[in-house]
Structure 1
Amino acid sequence: MTRPIIDFHCDALSKLLLDPKLDFSKDRRLDVNLRRLKKGGVKLQTFAIFLSQRLGPPKMEHILGQIDVYQERVQPLGVLPVQSVEDLDALEQGEAVGGLLSLEGADGLEGNLHYVRVCYEKGVRLLGLTWNYANWAADGIMEPRNGGFTPAGLELVRLCHELGIILDVSHLSVKGFWELQQLAEEAGKPFIASHSNAYEVCPHARNLRDDQIQAIIKLGGRIGVTFVPWFVKEGRSASSKDLLPHIERICSLGGGANLMFGSDFDGIETHLTDLRHSGHYANWQESLLKYYPEELVRGWLYDNAAAFLRAWLPSHK
C-alpha cells in the first residue's frame, strides 16, 4: 500500500524556467514530474525557487519568473497550491497532488523587504536565507569567513516571523544558524533544514552537526533528510540504504518526530543508485518498512511534515 509522502525540496521550477520545452506532466528529463509524483505517492511537493547563475545577477524578476512558471505550467495540470491550513485540509480530502512554494536564497529579493511581502502574497511560504555563499542578508555555509546576519538580514528574519514565512537553514552558515536559533527561540518560531543530513555520519559542510540537530528538535522544527549522494556518503556511489545511518543518528538525538525528507531532486546531476526520481519513493517506503515500524515510517514520510505545516501555515479562520 502506498502511503502519502511530503517532499520538502526539489528544483524542478529552475529547470522549467531555463527550458520552456520541458513538460511538467511527464518529461523524463525532470526528476520530479506529475506522473512520477503520482507513481511515487508524493502528496505534497515543495518547489524551490532557485536562481541559477545562468540567469545572471539574481533579481526579483527572476523570482517572479519562476512563480509564473509554477502558475502557468505546473498548477494547470491539477497541482493544488498549498498556502494555508485550509489548503492542506482540502489537499488531504482529495486526490490531487499539492505544491508548496519555497524561495532558496534571499539574493533575488535585492535587499528590498517590500519584495518579501510580494512573495508572500504570491504564495511563497518558506525562505531559505542563503544558498552556499554570502548575500545581502547573511553568509552561506561555503562562505570562507563564516559570518552571520547583516543588519538587513536581521530585519528580514523579523519580517518573516511577522508574516508567517517559515525559515530554512539548509544553506546557512554555522554562525548564522546560531544567530537565527536565538531569534527563533525569542520569537517562539521554529525553523527547518529542508534538505540536510547528519554531519557525524557524513562530514560534508552542508550537513548538520549534532548540536544543530538538537537545537532544531528543541525548537520543534523539522529536518529533511536529503538524497544528495555526497551528503549521504563519502567516496563512491551511494544507495538509499546509506540514508539509514542518517535517520538513526537523528533519531538517537531525539528527532524521530522531527524527521522528514527533502530529496533535492532536479538540483543534482548524480543520484542515489536506487532513488533517482520521485517515482522511486514507493520502493523507498517499502525499504523503510523492512527496518522500522509503520508508525515511524508514516511520520517520516508525511505526518511529521504535515503536523509542522498545520501548526505554522497561516489559517483563514
Structure 2
Amino acid sequence: MPRVLDLHCDVLYKLQKDPKLNMHPEGQGKLDVTRARLEEGSVAAQVFAIFVPEDEPMEPQTALHQAELFWSKVLTEPGVKLIRSSADLEEARRTGAMGALLSLEGVDCLRGQWWSLRLLHRLGVRLLGMTWNRANWAADGAMEPRGGGLTKAGRQLVKECESLGILIDVSHLSERGFWELKELATKPFFASHSNAKAILNHPRNLSDEQLRALIEADGLIGVTFVPYFLTKEPVARIDDVLRHVEHICGLGGANHLAFGSDFDGIELYVDGLAHPGQYPDLADALLKRYPESLVNGFLSGNATRYLSDNLPKR
C-alpha cells in the first residue's frame, strides 16, 4: 500500500467538544480519525485543522485550546512526530514516524490580534486558511454572498504568514480573494480540500482558471471526499472522486494533486471511503487507472514535495 499524506481533518474540534474522546480505538464511532485507522490506511502524515465553529467563543483562547489538544492527545501517541519544517518531514520519512501537522481553518477567532497568530505559530501552525465559508476581518469566504476579497488586515495577514513561514490555504476563500492572494503572495499557496467546479458547480469547488493558477504557481490541490462537492447523486462513490482526479490531471495537474479527506468535518461519506483506514480501497481504484508512480504522487509524493519545498528548512 502506498503511503498517504492527508491535507485536512477536523478531529481537534471533536476532541474539544467531548473531552472524554481520544485517538484510541474506543473513539471509533465518534471519530473518523483514530490512531489505528491512520495506521490501517498507511497514513504517513496527517494535517490536523483548528476550526472554531460559530457556537464556540470566537476568541484566540478557543484556538489555543485546540492547539493544546493537538499536543496532549495527538503528539503524545507513540511514534507520532510534529512536522514544523522540511527537516522534520524528512526525519519522519527516514524513521517511519507518523507526521502530524497543525493548520488553522479560518482566522475569525484571532480577531486581528497578531500575538495570537505568532503564538499559534510557536505551537506548530504552519498552514492557514484565511476564512471558513463566511466573511471575517481578513477576507470573504466562498459562501459569502457579496463575494468580496481581502481586507487591508487580510493583506497584512498574508505578509505576516509569509514572514513566519506559514503557507496559505485557499480552500474556503472567495474567488475574488483567491485572485487577490495570487497577486500578493510571493510563495506558492495551496487548496487543502477542494474539488473541480467543472465537474460539480459548487461555491466551494475551484474553477479551471483557479486550478490552472494553482498549478502554474507550483501549488497543491487536495481533492476532498465531501459527497456534495463530488456529485449531485444521492450516494457518492470512489468513482466520483476519480472523476475530479481525472479532470485535474487533464489540466496538467497530475504532479500537483493530493487528497484532503475532511474526515471528522463531514456527516455524509463516500461509499467505501468513510475513514482513513479505507485509503487502500482508493489506492486500488487509482492503480487500475494510473501508473504506480502517479498514484504514489497523488497519495503522498506531491504533497511531500510541496511541503518540503515551502516549509521552513528547520
Unaligned runs of 5+ in 2: none
For residue 177 of structure 2, what is the amino acid of its counterpart? Answer: G
Partner of 2:70: 70
Partner of 1:5: 4
Matches within 5 A, 1:110-259: 110-184=111-185, 187=186, 189-259=187-257
For residue 303 of structure 2, what is the amino acid of its counterpart? Answer: A
SS at match of 1:100: strand
For residue 265 of structure 2, what is the amino acid of its counterpart? Answer: G
Aligned mates of 2:95, 2:286 — CA distance in 1: 26
Partner of 1:15: 14
Partner of 1:263: 261
Q: CA deviation at 1:52?
A: 2.0
Q: What are the Cα deviations for residues 261-307 of structure 1, in whole angstroms up to 9, with x where unaligned?
A: 00000000000011000000012111110111101000000110000
For residue 236 of structure 2, what is the amino acid of its counterpart? Answer: A
Q: What are the Cα deviations for residues 38-60 of structure 1, in whole angstroms up to 9, with x where unaligned?
A: 0000000000000122313x110
For residue 217 of structure 2, what is the amino acid of its counterpart? Answer: L
For residue 152 of structure 2, what is the amino acid of its counterpart? Answer: P
Aligned mates of 2:13, 2:283 — CA distance in 1: 27
Unaligned runs of 5+ in 1: none
For residue 227 of structure 1, what is the amino acid of its counterpart? Answer: F
From 281, 286, 289, the counterpart of 2:287: 289
Partner of 1:87: 88
Q: CA deviation at 1:68?
A: 0.6
Aligned mates of 1:89, 1:163 — CA distance in 2: 20
Partner of 2:270: 272
Aligned mates of 1:53, 1:118 — CA distance in 2: 22
Q: What are the Cα deviations for residues 202-254 of structure 1, in whole angstroms up to 9, with x where unaligned?
A: 11110000000000001000000000000000131111111111111111111
Aligned mates of 1:53, 1:203 — CA distance in 2: 26
Partner of 2:307: 309
Q: Does 1:39 align with 2:40?
A: yes
Q: Does 1:24 align with 2:23?
A: yes
The percent of aligned pairs where both chains have the same amino acid is 49
Q: CA deviation at 1:74?
A: 1.2
Q: TM-score, normalised by structure 2?
A: 0.97
Query: For this pair of structures, how many residues does the alignment match?
Result: 311
Aligned mates of 1:243, 1:177 — CA distance in 2: 24
RMSD: 0.8
Aligned mates of 2:248, 2:281 — CA distance in 1: 22
